[in-house]
Chain A
Amino acid sequence: GAVVSQHPSWVICKSGTSVKIECRSLDFQATTMFWYRQFPKQSLMLMATSNEGSKATYEQGVEKDKFLINHASLTLSTLTVTSAHPEDSSFYICSATRQGGYRSNQPQHFGDGTRLSIL
């Protein structure tokens, strides 16, 4: 079964709305989680690295004031798209690293993604 839960799976909202997406590790603690964005017919691009108890690290070109990341516990990271506009419409995917996961075949577990549509 899924080890990383992402919610909601689909959001449609009006321009100017803020949208929060949750990423939870279900049966392990994740000190680090990652947020990716995927535009239609494109690859996944890393947006930011979310560290529990500290500020997120954003990739070049990603506006930290636009995409707020909070990693308040070892099992939950949230991504808030503030004042969303149609160009923010995309597929957002989170992933979490299981501690000691490098020993397994899957050092990262991905959520099922959130499809965000801004009207």
Chain B
Amino acid sequence: AQKVTQAQTEISVVEKEDVTLDCVYETRDTTYYLFWYKQPPSGELVFLIRRNSFDEQNEISGRYSWNFQKSTSSFNFTITASQVVDSAVYFCALSALDNYGQNFVFGPGTRLSVLP
């Protein structure tokens, strides 16, 4: 069975602080995809990143960075110098590599509030 855990239900930070959102996953598959999505108050899902299980390289995109560690089954997301516009719910998700990664399992989400 696949499962995604995001232990932090809600986080509040002050603008310009760095914040890390945790994601721990469980899967019996040896190959899989991991994702992060942002859901602002308007509701749409904004794709942030996909990482496949073969690639453990960390990634940086602007103020965003991701730390993938297979040894601990974690795929954490860090926002550097947070801004008010970063306030949203962030979902970590897992999908199997078979069926072209169609079967998504979402974590419960972390609600991030960035205060001015």
Q: How large is the interface on B (under 10, 10 to 19, 20 to 34, 35 or more residues)?
A: 20 to 34
Are A97 and B43 interface neighbours, CB within 8 A? no
Interface size on A, residues (CB 8 A): 24
**Min CB gap B31→A, angstroms:** 11
Residues of A whose CB lies within 8 Å of any CB of B are 32, 34, 41-46, 49, 91, 93, 95, 97, 101-102, 105-108, 110-113, 115
Given contacts A91-B43, A112-B43, contact A107 B102 (CB under 8 A): yes
Across the interface, do A43 and B104 meet the contact criterion of CB distance under 8 Å? no
Chain B residues with CB below 8 A from A111, complex form: 44
A42 touches B45 (CB 8 A): no
How far, in angstroms, from A95 to B101 measured CA to CA in the complex? 13
B43 touches A34 (CB 8 A): no
Top 8 closest pairs, chain A to chain B, by CB: A102-B100, A112-B44, A110-B45, A107-B101, A113-B43, A44-B106, A43-B106, A43-B108
